[in-house]
Structure 1
Amino acid sequence: MEQRPEDLSGMNIQDAKAYIAAHLASLKLTEKKRTELEADLAKWTTRVDLARSKGAEDLAREAEGAAERIRAELVKIQAEEAELRSQIEAMRRQLPSLAARERSVDPDLLEQELLMATGRLPGEEAAAETDRNLAKLEKESKAEAELAALKAKLAGQNGGGEQ
């Protein structure tokens, strides 16, 4: 699926602002190009009028051809400028939600960062809990074995003394 140029999802706020700034720079260049084309069009339109006033129809036709080419390019540039303005406006409307998304707390990410800050790796906490549980079972088992041995010894002493 193709991503639209004005779609900022997946960007952090700094990247989004840089992306918008790049679009703004493109818009400024497009505006400059449009201004230049408008000046050129005015110049060629004046030349058409001048050639006609002097009776030079061949020069007037050439000037009209140049003016038409400039007019066609001007239409393209104006459309590009409008599209850039629309994209920039759409991107600017997304900035608050991007900022809010960055401020929201992801509990899993927070837990992972906390574990890493304490020098443990994610997943080690579960392994440490398993180790603690196994150590507890080993202690209980050892205590039960020692208790059974003590009971057997006492039973042997009591049983052996009666004979």
Structure 2
Amino acid sequence: MIDPDMTPNLLLVVVVVALVTTGVYLLLERSLTRVIIGLVLIGNGVNVLFLLSGGRAGGAPIVGTTPVEEMSDPLPQAMVLTAIVITLGMTAFLLAMAYRSWQLNRHDEVQDDLEDRRIARMAAADQPAFEDDTQDTRTDLEVEAAEARDETGDREDEQEVVRT
């Protein structure tokens, strides 16, 4: 038999699913602003999930003021408070990164890493990594940087830098 005190509210389960789904979608975007919003949504979804896992709402978990059978579980509440602090710290860090990116580039888009592309290309061609270590590939990387797809529209400026 199902204990009615432990069955979760279906509306809150739908809220958790919606928050986490939207958060993951935003987390996969290239804009740091959307990544921050996605992280906050995932954090809030997990916090609601923690509270759902704590069972029914009850009295304050203070011995002497509430009978033991009517007390709510204090562990999920403590975990949610800890998760709030961790989410706040991560949000502050990502906000600092987005602000610095805006100061340097006037956008907060995360660009592709050319070195990662080069290593992936070598792995696809089944070339050993030590062969590339003996070559000076600085000019190749500069050419690849000029040819890379830049979503911010500053491609002409990068090509001029490479030519000089």
TM-score, L = length of structure 2: 0.37
Tell me which protein shows more helix as a share of its residues: 1
Higher relative contact order (CA 8 A, sep 6+): 1
Structure number with bigger Rg: 1
